[in-house]
Every structure is written in structure tokens, then in C-alpha cells.
């Protein structure tokens, strides 16, 4: 889905949409969901050390906005293997001209797309149907002391969540009380690459 909030005009965005090829025949299809060599050819030089897998049973479950702070920041490679989600990344790098801006894309078992969410971006997703399963790789291990997050509905960020009128998302108790961007002092450095649209 196009993101009207996203900045425009940049080709080298740190957040990247990955679309692995599927090779199909009468039996179904085969796809390489991750290849270190192919990622390196795209300029993505990340060593992943942990795989995570979540099941969200009700539609409109929202997880996020999450990140880990240094020294245990996490790059994430996210895909949906059952159902459909809206996956979101928010720029939280100090000094970035796109600080607080976001991009979003629908990931589904059907489309096979993946989103690379690098260190310095908060990540969240909203399930668009029941029984969604999401898997993602991370470049560092879970570190509770570095666990951080921001409010999903922060008006300063203004994410356009596709929630039906009158529907509140299913949230964890922790996510419901995360701080606002205005109260966050970013420990992430800007690397010179502003956030750009995904499509």
C-alpha cells in the first residue's frame, strides 16, 4: 500500500523491500527466503544470529513499535508466513532529516515479500486477518536491558493504521503504555541515508 506520509526522491533507503523469486510448477513453488550471497550483492552486509516466530490469533493485533538500543541494536528481516500484516518502520535516528517518518508495506504468505528494518528504526506490525504468523531474523540477540519502544498511536508519527472504524487494536499491556516520540532521546546515529518510499 502506498504511504502518503513517506518522504520521496531517494533511491538508497536504509529500509528495503525484498521480493524473493518463487519458482513454481504443478507441485507448488520453491523460494530462497534468505541468501547471504544475494543480500551482499544488494549491499546488505548483515550477520543474522537469531530467528523469531510469532502467532497472533485475532485480526488487528498490533505489536510495536519496538527496537533495541546500543550496544545490542537489531537489524530485522521480517516476513509473514501465514495471513497478512501491515509492516511498519519508523526512522528514529538522531539528526535524520526523516526522523519520525515512516514507511509501510503489506507482507503476506501469498506475496512472499520481506522487509529489512535496520538498526535505528522502530518496527511494528498490524495483523489484517486472524491467525497470522510472522517470522523474522535479527542481527543481535534479545537483550532485555536494551529493549525499547514507542507508542503505536503517537500523533507526532501519525501512522495510518488500517483499522476498521470503532476498532481498537489488540495490544500487550507493555505496548499500551510505551512512551511518545517527544519523550524519547535517540541513541541512534544518522548514517547519511534518509528514509525513502518502498515502491
pLDDT in tens, 72-115: 999 999 999 999 999 999 999 999 999 999 999 999 999 999 99
Task: Give 50-65 pLDDT, tens digit per residue.
Answer: 999 999 999 999 999 9
Nearest residue to 174 (alpha-carbon basis) of 74, 63, 56, 86: 63
* Catalytic choice (34, 72, 99, 136): 136
DSSP 8-state assignment for residue 36: H
Handedness of CA 185, 178, 156, 5 (dihedral sign): positive
Please name the residues in contact with 110: beta carbons below 8 A apart, sequence gap of 6 or more: 84
* Catalytic choice (23, 34, 53, 66): 66
Query: Rounded to two decimals, what is the model's pTM?
Result: 0.92
> Across 3-12, 31-40, 71-80, which has the greatest mean pLDDT?
71-80
Mean pLDDT, the chain, as a whole number?
93
For the chain, which residues make up each domain, given as ranges?
A: 16-183
In angstroms, the CA 94 to CA 171 distance is 28
Q: Which residues pair with 80 in a beta bridge?
A: 134
Locus of grid cell 505489536: 63
What CATH number does the domain located at 16-183 have?
2.60.120.10
Task: Give 153-197 pLDDT, tens digit per residue.
Answer: 999 999 999 999 999 999 999 999 999 999 999 999 999 999 999
From 7-11, 33-37, 59-63, 153-157, the region with the lowest mean pLDDT: 7-11
- Cis amide linkage into residue 173, ω under 30° from 0: no
94 near 152, Cβ under 8 Å?
no
Whether 1 has a pLDDT exceeding 80, the answer reads: no
In angstroms, the CA 36 to CA 45 distance is 8
Q: Is 99 a catalytic residue?
A: no
Q: Is 190 a catalytic residue?
A: no
Amino acid at each position: 500500500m502506498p504511504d502518503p506520509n513517506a518522504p520521496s526522491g531517494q533511491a538508497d533507503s536504509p529500509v528495503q523491500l525484498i521480493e524473493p523469486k518463487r519458482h513454481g510448477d504443478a507441485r507448488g513453488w520453491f523460494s530462497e527466503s534468505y541468501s547471504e550471497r544475494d543480500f551482499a550483492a544488494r549491499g546488505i552486509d548483515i550477520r543474522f544470529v537469531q530467528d523469531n516466530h510469532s502467532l497472533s490469533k485475532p485480526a488487528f493485533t498490533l505489536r510495536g513499535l519496538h527496537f533495541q538500543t546500543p550496544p545490542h541494536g537489531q537489524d530485522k528481516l521480517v516476513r509473514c508466513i501465514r495471513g497478512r500484516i501491515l509492516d511498519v518502520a519508523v526512522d528514529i535516528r538522531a539528526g535524520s532529516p526523516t526522523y519520525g517518518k515512516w514507511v509501510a508495506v503489506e507482507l503476506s504468505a501469498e506475496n512472499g515479500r520481506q522487509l529489512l528494518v535496520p538498526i535505528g528504526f522502530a518496527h511494528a506490525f498490524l495483523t489484517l486477518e486472524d491467525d497470522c504468523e510472522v517470522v523474522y531474523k535479527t542481527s543481535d540477540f534479545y537483550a532485555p536491558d536494551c529493549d525499547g519502544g514507542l507508542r503505536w498511536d503517537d500523533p507526532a508519527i501519525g501512522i495510518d493504521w488500517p483499522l476498521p472504524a470503532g476498532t481498537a487494536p489488540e495490544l500487550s499491556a507493555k505496548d499500551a503504555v510505551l512512551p511518545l516520540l517527544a519523550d524519547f532521546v535517540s541513541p541512534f546515529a544518522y548514517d547519511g541515508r534518509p528514509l525513502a518510499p518502498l515502491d
